[in-house]
Amino acid sequence: MTEPTTSSFAEHGALARGAFAVAVLVSLAVLFAPASDVPSAPPGVDKVVHLLLFAALSLTGRWAGVRRGVLAGLLVVYAALSELLQSLDLLNRSTSVADWLADVVGVLLGLLLWDLLARRRAMRAR
């Protein structure tokens, strides 16, 4: 399957890379904050946060020009590593397969959203 192309990469190169960098920095702060810094929330809210965080990473990563397969692979590995690192004594958080699955769903959702937006832009350009 060929990837949809848009001129938005050229038009928003620095902005897109900056948005991706901000998303990465936010993910680092959210995923690696010690347990004492994580606010309490109703059950399930953490899954929504994981999903939205990884959707933002994949969407901004695609906007920045990272290829779909490379980005998806790196984000899935990043999600798994972040879950493993959360169990370290330093962070005192728990490892959760459900959080990792929410991350993976977020990656897929972000990639799907990017493809839909790119196709829509391509249709408008015709």
pLDDT tens digits, one per residue of 12-66: 689 999 999 999 999 999 999 988 888 888 888 999 999 999 999 999 999 999 9
**Boundaries of every domain in the chain:** 8-125
DSSP 73: H
Q: What is the pLDDT of residues 101-126, one digit of tens each?
A: 999 999 999 999 999 998 998 888 88
Query: At what angle are helices 13-31 and 68-86 packed, to 10 degrees?
Result: 20
Q: Which amino acid is at 87?
A: S
Contacts of 38 (CB under 8 A, 6+ apart): 93
Q: How far apart are CA 109 and CA 93, in angstroms?
A: 26
Give me the mean pLDDT over the 81-92 stretch.
Answer: 89
Residue 9's pLDDT is 47
